[in-house]
Chain A
Amino acid sequence: MSDQKTAPRKIFPPAVNTETEKFWKAAEEGKLLYGWCLACSEPHYYPRSFCPFCFSERVEWREASGAAKVYSFSIMYRSPTGPYTIAYVELAEGPRIMTNIVDCDFEKIAIDAPVRLVWKPSEGGAPVPFFTLV
């Protein structure tokens, strides 16, 4: 099904606030950050100024390797700009994060399939992290 290639869907510019500014600056450099708690040693995503598990403020934001596997996905056909695939992928570092699977034959996407990080420009905002099949 050739029409299942990625369509030119406009990517919403990500909302940035003072807490998440660092994340989107790193995105400009192609780095995907996740939160790491120095108190309880748990990773978290989306990154924030404290740990959502133990509530400690002793967190640092680390760079993810970009390796991940598909946790779940859905190919969206109810779209005026053509199909796109929303997904949760599990980072090699642990957290499961919402994303899109892009630049591949959607028919080949499967749960547990390995994927890797790719960046796409948004409409006037920071680049956004996506994933593609390895």
Chain B
Amino acid sequence: MSIKGKAYVMGAFEHPTREAPDKSTPQLHAECARGALADAGLSKDDIDGYFCAGDAPGFGALSMADYMGLRKLRHVDSTETGGSSYILHVGHAAEAIAAGKCSVALITLAGRPRTEKGGGGPRGGGFASAPEAGFELPYGGTTHNQYAMCATRHCHEFGTTSEQLAWIKVAASHHAQWNPHAFLKEVVTVEEVVNSPMIATPLHRLDCCVVTDGGGALIVTSPDVAKRLNRPRVKVIGAGEAPKGTYGGKVDLTFSGAAWSGPKAFAEAGVTPSDIKYASIYDSFTITVLMQLEDLGFCAKGEGGKFVADGNLISGVGKLPFNTDGGGLCNNHPTNRGGITKVIEAVRQLRGEAHPKVQVKNCDLAIAHGTGGSLGTRHGSATLIMERE
């Protein structure tokens, strides 16, 4: 069974806050849900499917559904693949809708890492019982240095340079200047990126995403519900997912799970990378974008550095406009998880509701792709292809 054409993204909402000391995390989830419902033109009791991931406090979907008063649920899914979860959830929602298990699915993400000072430090806590814990936690692995090891290897194998990586941040900053909610609105140069303080070689501070509070929500519906709503219809036409790990010591840092999730999504959608008008590409770090673009087939493996250079990702300038909201690198990376904002900006583009300065002309086909967890150890890749109807 294919999900092609079986579901539509009809509601999308990104919380405007970037620092929320005055709100609880559950409250942010509820505010996002309310925003997405209003965007779709639906009400709470229309929701019969609920999707959330590891950021949902307490007993996950059970606590949050009870808190929000979701009384009509007949389908819940709390699949946790880190920041890519919410992209994957759209695919899962489409599957559930296609199987008749629900017709209006709500997906929420929210959290407060900026207020709570939790910006990608050493992993502990819940990871202490993981099978790999004894063999990894003593080494001070963080999000930064694990992704950085991928960059070190990529530079070694393919000659990728810090200046090429910097172009990804430069492109994001060109877009962020038009987003009034963006955490960082200033346009930066390649020189500014490579001269910013070194965090974990070869990644500088400006190669890293922002740490922000906030969240987002999506409403995915059946075709019948979508046709009743007074909003542009964004059709889900392809989805792919794949976990990747360290495989018993056969570690290969040169590619991401996008190499597996991407082809599945493109095959289901019946399109190719060259057909894509707009790309939301997970940007926890510049290297994340570069590797995913290669793995998704936008350029050959090893050619990512050349592909992203010279403004090729800037809307109106280059061949592949990406992350026109400013992405995680400049706009928002709510609760250290950027998946939902990737779908939200793709929906804006497909509806023609992106900022006029970054809106892609005739944007009828978009991709949203995410990597959750750690690119340097184990991560979940999720690819979603959507079409304007």
Chain A contacts to B: CB under 8 angstroms: 9, 11-17, 19-20, 23-24, 34-35, 42-46, 48, 51-53, 71-79, 84, 86-88, 91, 94-100, 111, 122, 128
Cβ of B100 < 8 Å from any Cβ of A? no
Given contact pairs A86-B140, A98-B136, A100-B140, A15 touches B129 in the complex (Cβ within 8 A): yes
Judge whether B253 and A15 touch: CB under 8 Å.
no
- How many B residues touch A, CB cutoff 8 Å? 41
CA distance A34 to B247 in the complex (A): 14
**When A and B form their complex, which 4 residue pairs have the shortest distance between CB atoms, in order from nearest?**
A95-B249, A44-B248, A74-B148, A14-B134
Q: Is the CB of A52 within 8 A of B134?
A: no
A35–B131 CA distance with the chains assembled, in angstroms: 15
Q: Tell me how far the C-beta of B9 lies from the nearest C-beta in chain A, rounded to whole angstroms.
A: 36
A72 touches B253 (CB 8 A): yes
Contact A43 B145 (CB under 8 A): no
Report if A78-B135 is in contact (Cβ < 8 Å); known contacts: A71-B251, A72-B153, A88-B149: no
**Which residues of B come within 8 Å of A, CB atoms?**
122, 124, 128-129, 131-142, 144-146, 148-153, 156, 197-203, 246-251, 253, 377
- Can you name the residue of chain A whose Cβ is closest to the Cβ of B204? A77
Whether the Cβ atoms of B144 and A78 lie closer than 8 Å is: yes
List of B residues within 8 angstroms of A73 by Cβ: 149, 152, 201
* B251→A76 contact, CB < 8 A: no
Q: Which of chain A's residues have a CB closer than 8 A to the CB of B246?
A: 96, 98
**Residues of B with C-beta under 8 A to A12:** 122, 124, 137-138, 140
**Given contacts A14-B135, A111-B152, A111-B156, A95 and B248 within 8 Å (CB-CB):** yes
Minimal beta-carbon separation of B161 from chain A (angstroms): 16
A75 touching B248, Cβ below 8 Å: no
